[in-house]
Amino acid sequence: MSALLTAVENRRSYSRVTDVAPTHDELLPLVAASARVADHSALKPWRLIELRGDDRVRLGAAIAKAEHDDTPSRKPLRAPLLLAIVVCEKKSDKVPAWEQEAVASGVAHTLSLLLADAGWGVIWRTGHYTRSKAVRKMHKLKKNEQLLGWLYVGGIPEGAKVGYRKPIDAEEFLSRLP
Ligand SMILES: Cc1cc2nc3c(=O)[nH]c(=O)nc-3n(C[C@H](O)[C@H](O)[C@H](O)COP(=O)(O)O)c2cc1C
């Protein structure tokens, strides 16, 4: 079995992580590799924003604002590092918005896999507030940008139980044209 197949098969999400996180410099090669996803017209319609320390408190306040809640949300504090996934829609006659979202999404999935392979705990999270005005503003998104959520990243807790996802019957998902 190839190392890639094993890595993909073994990937799982960690909803609980410890407070260690990859540094900016450790992330760079993984981000560069993730950029190798298929990208129609090579528009690179994505970017990532690192949220660490008090950045997460600011996100908690923005979430509360979006949800008309008096108490700041503690959700962003569940991991030491959040990577906001941003799709940056580029002007193109050839590549519609949905294709550009597919590229940004591909980057996020690939980066999740590479982070998992490097030994980090990762989970992709969103929420009703993901595309709210308050959360947009806090990330200083431009008009052509939208959030696809955040990769929550941290250390894998000792003795963390491996989640189970029932294997699919691939025959059900792969068929010939009717
Ligand atoms: C776009 C996207 C958004 C998601 N949002 C959430 C979320 O807000 N909360 C959550 O618990 N899981 C969310 N998930 C699912 C988790 O990332 C994860 O896949 C799920 O918990 C199953 O775990 P597994 O990946 O180990 O099978 C999201 C996944 C994707 C792709």
Decide if 162 is inside a domain: no
The pLDDT assigned to 164 comes to 83
Rounded distance from Cα 151 to ligand 1 centre (Å):
10
pTM of the model: 0.97
In a domain, 15, yes or no: no
User: Residue 140 maps to which CATH number?
Assistant: 3.40.109.10
Q: Which atom of ligand 1 is closest in space to residue 13's alpha carbon?
A: 26
Ligand 1 geometric centre to CA of 17 (Å): 15
**Does residue 2 sit within a domain?**
no
Q: What is the mean pLDDT of residues 114-136?
A: 98
- What six digits make up the tokens of 118? 């490097």
Tell whether the model's pLDDT for residue 69 goes beyond 80: yes
Q: Which domain holds residue 46?
A: 20-155
Reported ipTM exceeds the 0.85 cut:
yes
Residue 28 placed within a domain = yes
CB 142 within 8 A of CB 88: yes
Known binding residues for FMN: 11-13, 36, 40, 124-126
Number of domains in the chain: 1
Q: Is residue 81 scored above 90 in pLDDT?
A: yes
Task: For the chain, give the mean pLDDT.
Answer: 97
Mutate-to-test residue for ligand 1 from 12, 126, 131, highest number of ligand atoms within 8 A of CB: 126
Cα–Cα distance between 110 and 11 in angstroms, integer? Answer: 11
The residue whose CA has the least distance to atom 29 of ligand 1 is: 124
- Is 12 contained in some domain? no
| 88-117 pLDDT, tens digit each | 999 999 999 999 999 999 999 999 999 999
Mean pLDDT on 23-34: 98
> Sorting pLDDT into bands at 50, 70 and 90, what band is 161?
confident
- In this predicted structure, what is the pLDDT of residue 154? 98
Is the residue at 178 inside a domain?
no
